[in-house]
Amino acid sequence: MSISPNIGIIGVNHRGRSNTNGVSSENIAALCDVDVNYLDAAKKDFPQAQTFRDWRKLCERKNIDAVVVSTTDHTHAPPSGLAMKTGKHVYCEKPLTLTIDEGKLFRRVVSQTGRVVQGGTQQRSEQPF
């Protein structure tokens, strides 16, 4: 018997939609987006999922095992970092960080938390590759 992890999606439209489809066989337990229209559209596909407009609230949830971060490029590190600090594993679209200092901090958080982090690039995260 396999147990499906509870996944939280942060950023549900555009690349987020594609990433959500990539993990749709798992239990999508939470959806988060600042745009309520995108959030409502995603909720139709995953009616059992809790919805959030603030990724910090999603990260507080104890029932989430991992998150998929597909926000705009300059905002990947903060939700990824908080997710790790709250015990969640992370799949994050590129770029993981925006600056060298942010990258150093990101690496430190990964090391301190022991969470698994996968940085995604469209082609390298797809099945054929």
By residue count, the chain amounts to: 129
Q: What is the pLDDT of residue 74?
A: 85
Contacts of 114 by beta carbon, 8 Å cutoff, 6+ apart: none
67 compared with 15, residue with greater pLDDT = 67
> In this structure, what DSSP letter does residue 48 have?
T
Is residue 13 within 8 Å of residue 37, measured between CB atoms?
Answer: no
Kindly report the average pLDDT of the chain as a whole number: 91
Contacts of 41 by beta carbon, 8 Å cutoff, 6+ apart: 12, 13
Closest alpha carbon to 11 in 66, 54, 60:
54
Sheet with strand 6-10: strands edge to edge? 50-52, 27-32, 6-10, 66-69, 89-93, 117-120
Question: 5-60: per-residue pLDDT in tens?
Answer: 999 999 999 988 999 998 999 999 999 999 999 999 999 999 999 999 999 999 99
Entry pTM = 0.89
pLDDT at position 2 over 70: no
